[in-house]
Structure 1
Amino acid sequence: MRTQSSRPAPRTAVTVSLLAYSGVIISLTMLKAFFMIGLLWQPDNQRVRGLSLVPLNDLWESSSLFTQLFGYGGNFAFFVPFGVLAYLLVGRIGLTTLLGAGFSLLIEVSQFVFQLGFSDIDDFLFNTLGAVTGAVIAYWAGPRAQWLWLTLTAVVVIIFVVLVILGDSLGDPERVAEVNAAGYTWENRFTLHS
Structure 2
Amino acid sequence: MRTKSSRPAPRTAVTVSLLAYCGVIVSLTMLKAFFMIGLLWQPENQRVRGLSLVPLNDLWESSSLFTQLFGYGGNFAFFVPFGVLAYLLVGQIGLTTLLGAGFSLPIEVSQFAFQLGFSDIDDFLLNTLGAFAGAVIAYWAGPKAQWLWVTLTAVVVIVFVVLIILGDSLGDPNRVAEVNAAGYARENGFTLQDCP
Query: Shorter-normalised TM-score: what interval?
Result: over 0.9
Question: For the structure 1 residues 22 and 182, does the alpha-carbon distance in structure 2 shift closer, same or farther, using more than 3 Å as the test?
Answer: closer
Name the structure 2 match of 1:51: 51
Q: Number of aligned pairs?
A: 191
Name the structure 2 match of 1:132: 132
Name the structure 2 match of 1:120: 120
Gapped regions of structure 2 (runs ≥ 5):
none
**Deviation of residue 182 (structure 1)?**
6.1
2:183 is aligned with 1:184: no
Runs of 4+ in structure 1 deviating by more than 6 angstroms, as ranges, are none
Instruction: Normalising by structure 2, report the TM-score.
Output: 0.94
AA matched with 1:81: P
**Deviation of residue 184 (structure 1)?**
2.1
Q: For 1:171 and 1:86, how far apart are their aligned partners in 2?
A: 35
In the TM superposition, what whole-angstrom CA distance separates every residue of 1:125-163 from its partner, at most 9, and x where no partner exists?
000000000000000000000000000000000000000
Q: For 1:100 and 1:111, how far apart are their aligned partners in 2?
A: 17
Instruction: Normalising by structure 1, report the TM-score.
Output: 0.95
Q: For 2:185 and 2:109, how far apart are their aligned partners in 1?
A: 24
Question: For the structure 1 residues 25 and 146, does the alpha-carbon distance in structure 2 shift closer, same or farther, using more than 3 Å as the test?
Answer: same
| CA RMSD of superposed structures (Å) | 1.5
Q: For 1:117 and 1:181, how far apart are their aligned partners in 2?
A: 11
**Deviation of residue 101 (structure 1)?**
0.3
Q: For 1:153 and 1:34, how far apart are their aligned partners in 2?
A: 23
Q: For 2:188 and 2:26, how far apart are their aligned partners in 1?
A: 27
SS of residue in 2 equivalent to 1:37: coil
Name the structure 2 match of 1:159: 159
**Deviation of residue 171 (structure 1)?**
1.5
Tell me the percent identity: 87
Name the structure 1 match of 2:89: 89
**Deviation of residue 181 (structure 1)?**
3.4
Name the structure 2 match of 1:26: 26
Gapped regions of structure 1 (runs ≥ 5):
none
SS of residue in 2 equivalent to 1:63: coil
SS of residue in 2 equivalent to 1:171: coil
**Deviation of residue 193 (structure 1)?**
5.4
